[in-house]
Chains A and B, each alone.
Chain A
Amino acid sequence: MSDVVEKTLTALPSLLSLDSLSGSTTLSSTSKLGNLIRGITELTSKHEEEKLIQRELTSIKEQVSSPNTSTRQMKELMVRAIYCEMLGYEASFSYIHAIKLAQQGTGLEKRVGYLAVSLFLNESHELLLLLVNTVLKDLQSTNLIEVCMALTVVSQMFPKDMIPAILPLVEEKLNHPKEIIRRKAVLALYKFYLIAPNQVQHIHNKFRKALCDKDPGVMAASLHIYFQMIQENPEGYKDLTSSFVTILKQVVGGKLPMDFNYHSVPAPWMQIQLLRILAILGRNDQSSSEIMYEVLDESLRRAEINHNITYAILYECVKCIYTIHPKSELLEKAAKCIGNFVLSLKINLKYLGLKALTYVVQQDPKLALQHQMTIIECLDHSDLLIKRETLELLFRITNAQNVSVIVEKMLEFLRVNKDDYTTIDLVGKVAELAEKYAPDNEWFIETMSTVFSVGGDKMQPDIPNSFLKLLSEGFDSVEEDRKLRLFAVDSYVSLLQGEPGKLPQRFLQVISWVLGEYSYLREELDAVLRLLANLLDMRSTSSETKSWVLMAMTKLCGGGAGVSVIREVCETYGSSLDTVLRQRAQELQHLSQDCELRARVLPRGAGLEPLEVDSSLSFLDGFVSEALAAGAAPYKPPHQRQEELAQTKALSLEPYGLSLPISMSSCSIADRQSPTLLSVSSGLSGESPDLSHKGGTTTLKLDGVKRVWGREGYLSQREPVEEPVHVEVPSPVVSPSQRGGEADRSHSQTPTPTATPQPEQEKQQLASSLFVGLASQSSVCLMGKSESTTQRFRRKARGPVSSPAASEQISNSPVSTPSTANHLLGNNFLDSNITSDLSVSSLESTSQLSRGPAAANGICEVELTESSPALPRDNAVAAAAPAPHQDPDTLKDACLRSHLPAEFSGLCPSDITPLCTNQTLDFLACHLQKEDSVSLVVFIYNSSDSDIQQILLELDSDELEVSCVCGSAVQEARSHSVAVCQYSLTVKRPSVHVEVVGMASYRCPAETPQSARFSYKLPLTSFIRPLTVSTEEYGAMWLDFSHDTKQKLTLRSDGRESLADTLDVLKKKLNLHVVEIIGTEGIVACRLLRDQPCLMHCRLHEGSLSVWLRSPVPDLPDCLMYHCQRALQEH
């Protein structure tokens, strides 16, 4: 290597001159790359560079394909190929050779091979399949470095479907004696978790081992996985809170080896990761938060030195403190910290200070007051980023009093901003504030005009939609509405008189609609019509806008207004090549001549009337039946046609590939298919349906967008016509549900006469107008006037500080050890393998006896008398039970079963699982699957000698809807007896396992209130039911579903009937319906309760089963795939 030579040179020119003497003639491997690099730097034009690289690539290509090239030369060639790719030239011919090099090379060659592969290919590249074997081999290598390389490449990119192939080997590495290997294995698993969480579900307890690893590096690596998992399911990891706190304490206390220090701060990366985890665990959870207070305080205290890294820790600490259950001392310290950030001269810290302020300002608006002068300064900062963040902060503290100043500032920023992403976001925020807090009509209309001009065609389409909806729906006062509309009309007329060519298309559409609807409020319609006609003549006007304009003219044309203008327009566009425009022009012509019809079709000011849209177009039925009678072919929806085409080819994978455009499938599910409906709506589109779903604060409104043309939308007239003229208005239809609480918008309030201070005036004054109404009691408030704050999006109030004195937290899942139940029942009843059929049937009679009348209601409370088969405290129970040969454990279970409500008799419940237990009460649960529902039954057994009343059970779940079936959630449990609560469960969001988290609070006589927490986990399969469909129906459904997943599964057997066997297993275990098996392919259907279908297509392929799952429900295919895999593995 000529590094040494190069190192002595610091400047390029001298390097070049030296190498021109000696370097070019040598043929050593490095100099070839060196030559290339030098060659490029000498060039002057892009064109020359291109030529040189192409020449280079040709020569590389020649050499790599030559059989005489050694792996060492190959390594050098790969480096050059990587370089060319980095410059932006494609060297795809070398990809396969990179894989070969990784496979055949040793040491550095292999390493370069892997590097090239990881730079050239990404996860989905098909060539990666060829790498799997190499990785497998290297993972098993005895050479540590090769293992390291393999783990590195695996974490960089690995095909999702192939993860199962290497997973066992990677898992095995978790036990490797070398910590570097363990660490890399943990990180590789982390990567797998990110790209295919279902694949690594089963190794959760191994992660726990990694967390306890003696090497801090391995432990730190496992924190990444934990952060992800806890983020997804904080409830499941609450028990680890104290462990994380302990680790953090040790780290902060400097207990780790010096190696982990960074600029004399102990393991900052680890600290930050732990703080992030703690923030999630402590959110809305007082008891967990309490464990953390001490260590957070310590962290704040320790981070003293003035270095970036300590600020990083402080920042994370502050975020954590403000996220978890609040503690005033800590909040004070954190606030001081934020102050230091904001006041810092370092711009990075200032920015983070502003960010932190933005984060906390809703909880603590006074903090913003304290720093108001700094905020004002930042508002005029030369760095746009700082400005932007300040506006974000102001956005959060906006109220009815300071809205005009803040919006002015935001618009100012928007006018200079060039970045689309920011514009879209900020425009949405301005519109939101304007609607929420507008002080008066003029201000509102003018602000929205600026929004439309600045936001242009990039902004979220729901902004104009909701604006027009606001206008058309109006408020309480008719007079106020009239004024608002008139003002809008007037200001738009004057805009059109100016330079309409500069206005964005979206804005022109809004203007056209408003003028069309409300111009009648003013006198001279002729002038308006002329202005609209001018719009049509402008070259920049898009044809979509033109159709809005024509529509507006149609609304205005009555009463002999602007006859000549209209005639002219009709002549021009009556023969337009654009069919939509032609249609509109024809409508205009007809309606302008027929006043009566016009008044009926487009009644003035009736935009608000709800409209019944006959989406099935039943008024055409007569026409259709006539046509059918005349021999026309019946209409078939597109998917049916597709299906019929497919049937001619029997079952194959191909037809499924031809899926329909999304727009079609989205409207095909609810409504009856109708071609006219589709064409009508597409002709109507005032807005393009493919709205950009960009993030930002406007997400709330997005759900209305899809339904813009739904049946709730109003399409301007009452009856969709028997007339030959089919009139539709391109009105910006907004479904009523899109924005709740429209009426109570502050708009209807009396305008607050805020004196608008000039932004150029003194900062003090600006401050007073910006921060007015922030914290009226605060002495810092500069404005004398104090009105109650009207903050509408304050964070949810924190709960009361007091809590049940003793709270116990026990998390149990059916798989975990049942030891908690042991003391209750003397023995471990879970382990006994009962055949539930037997126990249920045998207990049928006894349970009948014991069941009180309350049983029918779902609550059944049983007195523990001698005759009833109650909980087995002694052996006397055996006598009561009819089957004498059962062992005691079974009996105990069976006795609880006897408490099951009557409606479940004959059903087979799951094993009864202990949830949690303490001195007085034991909680147990089981679930039952019914045809159309899943029920959860919670047993509360009172083992004490006193009755316990007012047991309040609250169940909640992220994935499930839990509803109590029994009359009330409050129960009482008599001494030594059992109370039963019954819940019905429905899936909200599919997940591999779903979990119900419960909290019971109760009060023993003469004792403080107590509470207990528990959780109950059940597999998604409990909610799966067969779905009986025909092959045709299956085909139709298949095309409509958008979420899918594919994977290869191992077959159950190799025999002839392997497909049928395998499907049979799945059918039995997962409750699926096998629709049909044709040759090597099979189709299977099931539904998730209630009525969420999932379809499965299986194909035998090279000894394994390719499974393809599809469903309209996101995540369902993935979860089901996981269970299929498990079912087949277990078998």
Chain B
Amino acid sequence: MRFMLLFSRQGKLRLQKWYTATAERDKKKMVRELMQIVLARKPKMCSFLEWRDLKIVYKRYASLYFCCAIEEQDNELITLEVIHRFVELLDKYFGSVCELDIIFNFEKAYFILDEFLMGGEIQDTSKKSVLKAIEQADLLQEEDESPRSVLEEMGLA
């Protein structure tokens, strides 16, 4: 995978992860162009795109678009499932996730993504073990933070 983008229906970038070295200027240009193309597509259209030398796989969840760029020989369908698994993970962690969770806790979303994908390849396909890794890391500093910890919240959820 070359990169993953999350953006809203209004065209606001919510998350970006680049797995190959790309110059800042190119990044901005690519993000802008891609958002335009993807947002212009109609709901019944194909979730795949051929764009420049890349294949784009995107999917919309509520108000958020998840968009991955993969290489020519990669499997598009499994990339859709990568997106889906990431959404499942977010959902489980935040408890029925919405866009606001990702806006206000984007660093958490990044941590989950890092635990799930590493260097652009899927690292851990098990929902349970990804979340376990995140929880362990969270535990480290939750001790001195406010009592309303994420863990408790998860207990509630």
Whether the Cβ atoms of A262 and B148 lie closer than 8 Å is no
Whether the Cβ atoms of A122 and B22 lie closer than 8 Å is yes
Whether the Cβ atoms of B119 and A269 lie closer than 8 Å is no
Closest to B52 in A: A421
Whether the Cβ atoms of A152 and B46 lie closer than 8 Å is no
Q: Which of A87, A190, A220 contacts B13, CB < 8 Å?
A: A87
Contacts A145-B136, A308-B81, A309-B78 given; indicate if A269 touches B103 (C-beta within 8 A).
no
What is the CB-to-nearest-CB distance from A129 to chain B, in angstroms, rounded to a whole number?
16
The answer to the question of B65 belonging to the interface, with a C-beta cut-off of 8 Å to chain A, is no
Give chain A residues whose Cβ lies under 8 Å from the Cβ of B76. 348, 352
Q: Which of B46, B75, B107, B153 contacts A115, CB < 8 Å?
A: B107
Give chain B residues whose Cβ lies under 8 Å from the Cβ of A34. 104
Closest to A145 in B: B137
Interface string of A885-900 (1 = CB under 8 A from B): 0000000000000000
Contacts A1-B145, A122-B21 given; indicate if A221 touches B123 (C-beta within 8 A).
yes
The answer to the question of B49 belonging to the interface, with a C-beta cut-off of 8 Å to chain A, is yes
For window 132-157 of B, CB contacts with A under 8 Å fall at: 133, 136-138, 140-141, 145-146, 148-150, 153
Report Cα–Cα, A190/B19, bound state, in Å.
13
The listed residue with most B CB atoms (<10 A of its CB), out of A34, A183, A348, A419, is: A348
For window 55-102 of B, CB contacts with A under 8 Å fall at: 73, 75-78, 80-81, 84-85, 94-95, 98, 100-101
Give chain B residues whose Cβ lies under 8 Å from the Cβ of A194. 119
What is the CB-to-nearest-CB distance from A954 to chain B, in angstroms, rounded to a whole number?
30
Report Cα–Cα, A463/B51, bound state, in Å.
23
Q: Which of B75, B111, B119 contacts A272, CB < 8 Å?
A: B75
What is the CB-to-nearest-CB distance from A215 to chain B, in angstroms, rounded to a whole number?
11
Interface bin, chain B: 35 or more
Give chain B residues whose Cβ lies under 8 Å from the Cβ of A382. 45
Q: Which of B101, B119, B141 contacts A107, CB < 8 Å?
A: B141
Interface string of A2-33 (1 = CB under 8 A from B): 01101101101001000000000000101001
- Among the stretches A310-318, A514-522, A706-714, the one at the interface with B is A310-318
Report Cα–Cα, A360/B14, bound state, in Å.
40
Closest to B118 in A: A187
Contacts A6-B101, A124-B21 given; indicate if A312 touches B106 (C-beta within 8 A).
no
The answer to the question of A43 belonging to the interface, with a C-beta cut-off of 8 Å to chain B, is no
Whether the Cβ atoms of B125 and A260 lie closer than 8 Å is yes
Give chain A residues whose Cβ lies under 8 Å from the Cβ of B124. 180, 183, 217
What is the CB-to-nearest-CB distance from A196 to chain B, in angstroms, rounded to a whole number?
12
For window 120-144 of A, CB contacts with B under 8 Å fall at: 122-124, 144
State the majority secondary structure of interface residues on A.
Answer: helix
What is the CB-to-nearest-CB distance from A261 to chain B, in angstroms, rounded to a whole number?
9
Contacts A260-B125, A312-B81, A385-B46 given; indicate if A3 touches B119 (C-beta within 8 A).
no
Whether the Cβ atoms of B98 and A10 lie closer than 8 Å is yes
Whether the Cβ atoms of B119 and A37 lie closer than 8 Å is no
Whether the Cβ atoms of B81 and A12 lie closer than 8 Å is no
For window 1-60 of B, CB contacts with A under 8 Å fall at: 13-16, 18-19, 21-24, 28, 44-53
Whether the Cβ atoms of A312 and B75 lie closer than 8 Å is yes
Give chain B residues whose Cβ lies under 8 Å from the Cβ of A315. 75, 77
Report Cα–Cα, A191/B21, bound state, in Å.
12
- Among the stretches A78-86, A766-774, A914-922, the one at the interface with B is A78-86
Interface string of A514-558 (1 = CB under 8 A from B): 000000000000000000000000000000000000000000000
Whether the Cβ atoms of A1 and B80 lie closer than 8 Å is no
Q: Which of A1, A37, A88, A115 contacts B111, CB < 8 Å?
A: A115
Interface string of A346-357 (1 = CB under 8 A from B): 011001100000
Report Cα–Cα, A144/B140, bound state, in Å.
11
Give chain A residues whose Cβ lies under 8 Å from the Cβ of B73. 276
Contacts A123-B21, A187-B118, A388-B50 given; indicate if A312 touches B77 (C-beta within 8 A).
yes
The answer to the question of A156 belonging to the interface, with a C-beta cut-off of 8 Å to chain B, is yes
Give chain B residues whose Cβ lies under 8 Å from the Cβ of A88. 13, 28
Whether the Cβ atoms of B121 and A259 lie closer than 8 Å is no
Interface string of A248-273 (1 = CB under 8 A from B): 00000000000110100001111010
Closest to B72 in A: A695
Interface bin, chain A: 35 or more
For window 605-640 of A, CB contacts with B under 8 Å fall at: none
What is the CB-to-nearest-CB distance from B157 to chain A, in angstroms, rounded to a whole number?
9
Report Cα–Cα, A122/B25, bound state, in Å.
12
Give chain A residues whose Cβ lies under 8 Å from the Cβ of B118. 152, 155, 184, 187-188
The answer to the question of A224 belonging to the interface, with a C-beta cut-off of 8 Å to chain B, is yes
Closest to B152 in A: A4
Give chain A residues whose Cβ lies under 8 Å from the Cβ of B52. 421
Interface string of A903-923 (1 = CB under 8 A from B): 000000000000000000000
Q: Which of B95, B103, B121, B149 contacts A190, CB < 8 Å?
A: B121
The answer to the question of A148 belonging to the interface, with a C-beta cut-off of 8 Å to chain B, is yes
What is the CB-to-nearest-CB distance from B128 to chain A, in angstroms, rounded to a whole number?
6
Closest to A191 in B: B119
Give chain B residues whose Cβ lies under 8 Å from the Cβ of A308. 77, 80-81, 84
Whether the Cβ atoms of A115 and B146 lie closer than 8 Å is no
Report Cα–Cα, A88/B21, bound state, in Å.
18
Report Cα–Cα, A9/B99, bound state, in Å.
11
Interface string of A929-960 (1 = CB under 8 A from B): 00000000000000000000000000000000
Whether the Cβ atoms of A12 and B100 lie closer than 8 Å is yes
Report Cα–Cα, A190/B100, bound state, in Å.
35
Whether the Cβ atoms of A348 and B104 lie closer than 8 Å is no
Whether the Cβ atoms of A86 and B16 lie closer than 8 Å is yes
For window 748-799 of A, CB contacts with B under 8 Å fall at: none
Report Cα–Cα, A1024/B50, bound state, in Å.
44
Contacts A3-B153, A383-B46 given; indicate if A109 touches B126 (C-beta within 8 A).
no
Report Cα–Cα, A109/B95, bound state, in Å.
24
Report Cα–Cα, A34/B133, bound state, in Å.
26
Contacts A33-B104, A383-B45 given; indicate if A262 touches B77 (C-beta within 8 A).
no
Whether the Cβ atoms of A9 and B100 lie closer than 8 Å is yes
Whether the Cβ atoms of B50 and A422 lie closer than 8 Å is yes
Contacts A1-B145, A37-B104, A308-B77 given; indicate if A7 touches B45 (C-beta within 8 A).
no
What is the CB-to-nearest-CB distance from A338 to chain B, in angstroms, rounded to a whole number?
14
What is the CB-to-nearest-CB distance from A414 to chain B, in angstroms, rounded to a whole number?
15
What is the CB-to-nearest-CB distance from A180 to chain B, in angstroms, rounded to a whole number?
6
Report Cα–Cα, A33/B100, bound state, in Å.
13
Whether the Cβ atoms of A3 and B105 lie closer than 8 Å is yes
Give chain B residues whose Cβ lies under 8 Å from the Cβ of A220. 125
The answer to the question of A111 belonging to the interface, with a C-beta cut-off of 8 Å to chain B, is yes
The answer to the question of A108 belonging to the interface, with a C-beta cut-off of 8 Å to chain B, is yes
Contacts A3-B101, A88-B28 given; indicate if A309 touches B77 (C-beta within 8 A).
yes
The answer to the question of A157 belonging to the interface, with a C-beta cut-off of 8 Å to chain B, is yes
Closest to B105 in A: A3
Report Cα–Cα, A309/B77, bound state, in Å.
7
Give chain A residues whose Cβ lies under 8 Å from the Cβ of B111. 111, 115
What is the CB-to-nearest-CB distance from A273 to chain B, in angstroms, rounded to a whole number?
9
The listed residue with most A CB atoms (<10 A of its CB), out of B81, B114, B119, B149, is: B119
Whether the Cβ atoms of A385 and B45 lie closer than 8 Å is yes
Report Cα–Cα, A183/B122, bound state, in Å.
11
Give chain B residues whose Cβ lies under 8 Å from the Cβ of A1119. none
Residues in chain A within 8 A of chain B (CB atoms): 1, 3-4, 6-7, 9-10, 12, 15, 28, 30, 33-34, 37, 79, 82-83, 86-88, 106-109, 111-112, 115, 119, 122-124, 144-145, 148, 152, 155-157, 180, 183-184, 187-188, 190-191, 194, 217, 220-221, 224, 259-260, 262, 267-270, 272, 276, 308-309, 311-312, 315-316, 347-348, 351-352, 382-383, 385-386, 388, 419, 421-422, 695
15 extra A-B contacts, CB within 8 A, seeds A82-B107, A308-B81, A309-B81: A4-B153, A33-B104, A79-B106, A86-B15, A108-B137, A183-B124, A184-B123, A260-B126, A272-B78, A308-B77, A312-B77, A348-B47, A385-B46, A385-B48, A695-B53
Could you show 7 A-B contacts with beta carbons less than 8 Å apart? A106-B141, A124-B21, A188-B118, A188-B119, A259-B129, A272-B78, A352-B76
Closest 7 pairs between A and B when the two form their complex, measured CB to CB: A312-B77, A107-B140, A108-B141, A107-B141, A155-B119, A123-B21, A191-B119
